[in-house]
Structure 1
Amino acid sequence: MILITGAGGSVGRSLLRGLHERGIASRAFVKNADQGRVALSDGATEIVVGDVRSRDDIVAAADGVTRIYHANPTSIVREVFIAEYIVEAARKHGVEHVVYHSVIHPDIAEMFHHQEKGRVETVFEDSGIPSTFLRASHFMQNYLDFWEFVRGGALPYPTSPNSVMGVVDAEDVGEVSARILAAPVEKHAGGVYDLSTQELTRHEMASEWSAVLGHKVSAVKFSPNVVTNPLWSVASLGALVGTTLRNNPVAAPLQIVRGARQSSNAKGVRNWPRESQDCYVRMMQYYDKNGLPAGDLTVLPELLGRPATSYREFARREARRRGHATAD
């Protein structure tokens, strides 16, 4: 039995499907019953509803499991104490392997949450429990929060369209995680793996969407301050409206309305604690100036046993999933 925290996220859901396909029992740790129903549909053997910040919930959830996959919720930026609970639970129940979903370049001093994940890696290293760290790049899926705008011809994000971002498909990360958890412990114990596919600016991402959707898609920047100050939304929406009207005038009115509704609280950011919101703003400000380089691009294909999913392949797949005919 494998315990999966973060089972409601893109990686967690993909991981559950991968374990189910391999006939491996999984216990999904979720925050509510709705997530639990989704986890069961993804192939989870069992679900546990709890709070990942609760020592008692973590220890109870680990009872009877042999391995743990841990992905911390994005809304919780201080996570060392959670790692300490997982170590305690693992020792109590004889867990033989912990796989931790970390981040690419955890040594970037300007971003607290990157450094925090580096500190979590140290907690697991010092525990003596065989551990594996998956250092994932920026997810391709992050832009699907703005899908309706993309359909309308605009690819918005709170960073410069010229910033170079290393990206990876979350479903590839889920598949790699399933492969590692299904393998003998000694094969990956102590492994630290960069999970990156390619580097792109958002202008280049928009070009990929243009080719897939068959109409022009342009990158648009809006301020990350919309998270903490809704007044910034007015100027951001204006830029999105203008771009959509130019690129796809027939569909623009409907897509503008749908896009504004869909992205008004992407990932529930406006419900996060203020510290988490501030951390998000600082992260976007860093990306705006510096981008986020990819890690070693040779690692992911080797772990997958196939080429990693390209951004074009990702865009084509997600468009078709949403019922949109593709042009390429």
Structure 2
Amino acid sequence: MILVTGAGGGMGRALVRDLHGRGVDVRAFVKNEHQATTARRDGATDAVIGDIRSSGDLTAAVAGVERIFHANPTSVVREVTIAEALVAAAQENGVGHIVYHSVIHPDIAEMFHHQEKGRVEDVLRESAVPTTVLRPSHFMQNYLDFWEFLRGGTLPYPTSPDSVMGVVDSEDVSEVGGRILTSPVAEHAGRTYDLSTQELTRHEMATIWGDVLGHGVSAVRLPPDVVKNPLRGVGTAGVVLVKSLRANAVHAPVQVLRGLVQSSNAKGVRSWPEESRDCYVAMMNYYDRNGLPAGDMTVLPALLGRPATSYREFAVREATRRGSPVTSSSR
């Protein structure tokens, strides 16, 4: 049995599906009954509802499992005590391997979220439990929160479109997680892996989406603090509408309206604790000024045994999944 924490998130769900496809029994640790139902539908053998900040809930979830994939929810930024409780439960139950979902460049001082994951890496390495650390880049999926805007002709995001971002497909990351969790422990124990595919500005991402969808797509900068103060995005809404009308005049008004509704509480950020929202804004401010370099881009293909999914391949796949026509030249 493999325990997947954070199994209600996009990354966790993809891993549950991957492990189910490998014929492995999976226990999903989730925060409510809705996520539990979804996890079982994804293929989880068992679903445990609890608060990841509760050592008692973690201990109950770990009982009887052989390996753990630990992905902390984005809304919970203080991770060290959680990791310590997880290690204690793993040692008590004889868990043979922990795979930790960290982040690329955990040493960046300006982002508490990144540095906290570095501290968790230290906790895990210093434990007696064999550990593997995955350091993924910025997920390609993050921009799907703005899907309706994309259909309308814009790609808004709370960072500069000129910032260069290292990106990776979270489904590639979940496949790597599945491969590692079903391999002999000694093959990956003690290893830290960068998981990066390519570097792109959001202008370049928008161009790819335009090629795939068959109409112009323009990257638009939202103020990084719009997640805390939606009124900061009012001025940008006019820019989005104008660019959308130029790209897709017939459908733009409806899609912009749908986009505003869809993205108004992306990732449930409005319900996050104040500290978590502050950390998210700090992260967006850093990306706005500096971007986020990719890690070693040779690692992911080697772990997958195939080329990593490119941003264009990702865009074609996601548009197809959503029933959107895809230009023949992009296939």
What is the match of residue 244 of structure 1? 244
Asked if 1 retains the 8 angstrom alpha-carbon contact of 2:145 and 2:266, the reply is yes
Could you say what secondary structure the match of 1:297 adopts?
A: coil
What is the match of residue 284 of structure 2? 284
How far apart in 1 are the matches of 2:295 and 2:226? 30
Q: CA deviation at 1:230?
A: 2.5
Could you say what secondary structure the match of 2:47 adopts?
A: strand
Asked if 1 retains the 8 angstrom alpha-carbon contact of 2:97 and 2:130, the reply is yes
What is the match of residue 16 of structure 2? 16
Specify the code of the residue in structure 2 equivalent to 1:45. T
What is the match of residue 41 of structure 1? 41
Q: CA deviation at 1:248?
A: 1.0
How far apart in 1 are the matches of 2:268 and 2:53? 18
Could you say what secondary structure the match of 1:105 adopts?
A: coil
Asked if 1 retains the 8 angstrom alpha-carbon contact of 2:91 and 2:128, the reply is no
Deviations 1:277-296 (A, max 9, x none): 11111111110111000000
How far apart in 1 are the matches of 2:194 and 2:188? 13
The alignment status of 1:73 with 2:83, answered yes or no, reads no
How far apart in 1 are the matches of 2:239 and 2:78? 34
> Which runs of 5 or more structure 1 residues have no equivalent in the other structure?
none
Could you say what secondary structure the match of 2:230 adopts?
A: coil
Q: CA deviation at 1:20?
A: 1.0
What is the match of residue 304 of structure 1? 304
Q: CA deviation at 1:240?
A: 1.3
In the alignment of these two chains, the number of paired residues is 328
Specify the code of the residue in structure 2 equivalent to 1:272. W
The alignment status of 1:227 with 2:238, answered yes or no, reads no
Give the root-mean-square deviation of aligned CA atoms. Answer: 0.7
* 192-201 or 227-236, larger mean C-alpha shift: 227-236
Q: TM-score, normalised by structure 2?
A: 0.98
How far apart in 1 are the matches of 2:305 and 2:184? 17
What is the match of residue 172 of structure 1? 172
Work out the percentage of aligned pairs sharing the same amino acid. Answer: 68
Deviations 1:106-142 (A, max 9, x none): 0111111110000000000111210000000000000
Asked if 2 retains the 8 angstrom alpha-carbon contact of 1:106 and 1:117, the reply is yes
Q: CA deviation at 1:236?
A: 2.4
What is the match of residue 326 of structure 1? 326
How far apart in 2 are the matches of 1:207 and 1:233? 23
Could you say what secondary structure the match of 1:231 adopts?
A: helix
What is the match of residue 7 of structure 2? 7
1:101-112 correspondence runs (5 A): 101-112=101-112
What is the match of residue 208 of structure 1? 208
What is the match of residue 183 of structure 1? 183
Specify the code of the residue in structure 2 equivalent to 1:132. T
Q: CA deviation at 1:37?
A: 1.2
* 244-253 or 285-294, larger mean C-alpha shift: 244-253
Specify the code of the residue in structure 2 equivalent to 1:320. T
Q: TM-score, normalised by structure 1?
A: 0.99
Asked if 2 retains the 8 angstrom alpha-carbon contact of 1:227 and 1:269, the reply is yes
Specify the code of the residue in structure 2 equivalent to 1:111. M
Asked if 2 retains the 8 angstrom alpha-carbon contact of 1:163 and 1:287, the reply is yes
Q: CA deviation at 1:270?
A: 1.3
Could you say what secondary structure the match of 1:186 adopts?
A: helix
The alignment status of 1:127 with 2:151, answered yes or no, reads no
Moved over 4 A (4+): none
Asked if 2 retains the 8 angstrom alpha-carbon contact of 1:10 and 1:171, the reply is no
Specify the code of the residue in structure 2 equivalent to 1:167. V
1:88-103 correspondence runs (5 A): 88-103=88-103
Specify the code of the residue in structure 2 equivalent to 1:258. R
> Which runs of 5 or more structure 2 residues have no equivalent in the other structure?
none
How far apart in 2 are the matches of 1:79 and 1:227? 22
How far apart in 2 are the matches of 1:200 and 1:233? 24
Deviations 1:48-76 (A, max 9, x none): 01110110000000000010100000011
Q: CA deviation at 1:233?
A: 2.5
Q: CA deviation at 1:203?
A: 0.3
Could you say what secondary structure the match of 2:134 adopts?
A: strand
Asked if 1 retains the 8 angstrom alpha-carbon contact of 2:224 and 2:288, the reply is no
